Amino acid sequence: MIISSAKPFEEILKLLKDEDDIFIIGCNACAAKLHVGGEPEVTMMQQRLEVNGKNVVGWVIPSAACSVASFDSLVEKNPAIREAKAILVMACGSGVSIIAGVTDIPVYPSNNTESLGGRSQGEVIPRLCAMCGDCTVYYFGGICPKGQCPKQLLNGPCGGSMEGKCEVDTDKDCVWDRICSRLEKMGRQDLMEKVWLAEEIEGQILCRN
Ligand code: SF4
Ligand code: SF4
């Protein structure tokens, strides 16, 4: 799941200050699950834009904004998009980019894309994976330090953890504490014996959201 959050409405209004006849595109995948691009949020956005003097010509919520085949497929769902002079996409950056690729109408984002995360037992969990392109999460018991340790340490903890909490993200448990417990539960402490060399690490850690 791509984790995104809604931009402040004032920022969206500023983005759209020279635009009118706006069409809104939501996303029934991640953004809907995160309550930043499903029907309730899209209709609320329509109302708020209209209250602020903008004409909203229509809206649509594709099953996934990042998987829209063509402009015609959007027209099929709601022909009012032909009247649009601007499109507001309530999805992650991937959805915004895909929509921008199928139309010449200016496309604006309503969300900030933050990380690759997930949702479990009703809880949204950000930064599960840093999308390094070389998945080695098995060595860490399925808990990725590239995505979840603020220092992206692969050879064990930094030593700054206090009472099991991360010294950087102090409200979170130290990722290495969790990795050790998990490997212990799996009976695979041997995996911790692997030493990651600089050349193995280099190029794997591409980003941290
Ligand atoms: S090893 Fe790479 S691909 Fe696998 S979870 Fe971590 S960051 Fe993501
Ligand atoms: S306390 Fe743990 S999670 Fe935090 S930076 Fe250090 S090793 Fe990483």
What are the pLDDT digits (tens) for 127-165?
Answer: 999 999 999 999 999 999 999 999 999 999 999 999 999
Please state, in angstroms and rounded to a whole number, the distance separating the CA atoms of residues 199 and 193. 17
* Edge-first strand listing for the sheet containing 56-60: 56-60, 22-25, 86-89, 107-109
148 alpha carbon, closest ligand: 2
Predicted pLDDT at 178: 96
Radius of gyration over every alpha carbon of the chain, rounded to an integer in angstroms: 21
pLDDT band at 200 (very low <50, low <70, confident <90, very high): confident
Predicted pLDDT at 207: 46
**Mind listing the pLDDT tens digit for each residue in 34-92?**
999 999 999 999 999 999 999 999 999 999 999 999 999 999 999 999 999 999 999 99
- The answer to whether the CB of 136 is under 6 A from ligand 1 is yes
Q: What is the mean pLDDT of residues 162-185?
A: 95
- Considering the chain, tell me which residue range(s) the CATH 3.40.50.2300 domain(s) occupy: 2-114
154 alpha carbon, closest ligand: 2
pLDDT at 208 over 80: no
- The answer to whether the CB of 116 is under 6 A from ligand 1 is no
Predicted pLDDT at 205: 57
Please state, in angstroms and rounded to a whole number, the distance separating the CA atoms of residues 115 and 137. 17
Spell out the CATH class of 2-114. alpha beta
Q: What's the predicted TM-score (pTM) here?
A: 0.87
Predicted pLDDT at 203: 61
Beta bridge partners of 162: 165
| Nearby residues of 27 by Cβ (< 8 Å), 6 or more positions away | 37, 38, 61, 62, 64, 65, 66, 89, 90, 91, 92, 95
Atom of ligand 1 nearest to the CA of 130: 7
> How many Å lie between the centroid of ligand 1 and the Cα of residue 134?
7
Predicted pLDDT at 47: 98
Q: How far is CA 119 from the centre of its chain?
A: 12
pLDDT band at 209 (very low <50, low <70, confident <90, very high): very low
Question: Which residue ranges have their beta carbon within 6 Å of ligand 2?
Answer: 149-151, 153, 157-158, 160-161, 166-168, 174-176
> How many Å lie between the centroid of ligand 1 and the Cα of residue 175?
14
pLDDT at 197 over 90: no
Instruction: Report, in this order, helix, strand and coil percent for the chain, each rounded to 5.
Output: 35, 20, 45
- The answer to whether the CB of 205 is under 6 A from ligand 1 is no
| DSSP-derived secondary structure letter, 146 | H
**Percent residues over pLDDT 90 in the chain:** 93
Atom of ligand 2 nearest to the CA of 175: 3
Q: Distance of CA 91 to CAs 67, 97, 108, 138, 145, Å?
A: 11, 10, 10, 31, 27
- The answer to whether the CB of 129 is under 6 A from ligand 1 is yes
- The answer to whether the CB of 131 is under 6 A from ligand 1 is yes
| Nearby residues of 134 by Cβ (< 8 Å), 6 or more positions away | 203, 204
